[in-house]
Amino acid sequence: MTKKKSGYAAAIDELEAIVLKIEGEEVDVDELAENVKRALELIKTCNLKLKNTEEEVSRILKEIGE
């Protein structure tokens, strides 16, 4: 569950896999908290990455705009 992946694509893939699993009710209760915890971590990661990307992009765009 806590396998260490890196990169946005890996994170969102894992997140959506967890969503599918939870949606399909394939998780044990024991695993649910772990899954949700992991999912929240991933959401945080994804959001952070998106936010950073957004800032980076606008910074770059601004830079080449000058």
**Residues found near other proteins in the complex (CB under 8 A):** 8, 12, 15-16, 18-19, 22-23, 25, 27, 29, 32, 35-36, 39-40, 43, 46-47, 50, 53-54, 57, 61, 64-65
Tokens in use for 50? 């998106």
| Nearest distance, CB of residue 26 and other proteins, angstroms | 11
Residue nearer to other proteins on the CB measure, 4 or 50: 50
Q: How far apart are CA 14 and CA 52, in angstroms?
A: 20
| Nearest distance, CB of residue 25 and other proteins, angstroms | 6
Q: Which of 34, 12, 35 is closest to 24 using CA atoms?
A: 35
Through-space distance between the first and last CA atoms of the chain, rounded to whole angstroms: 46
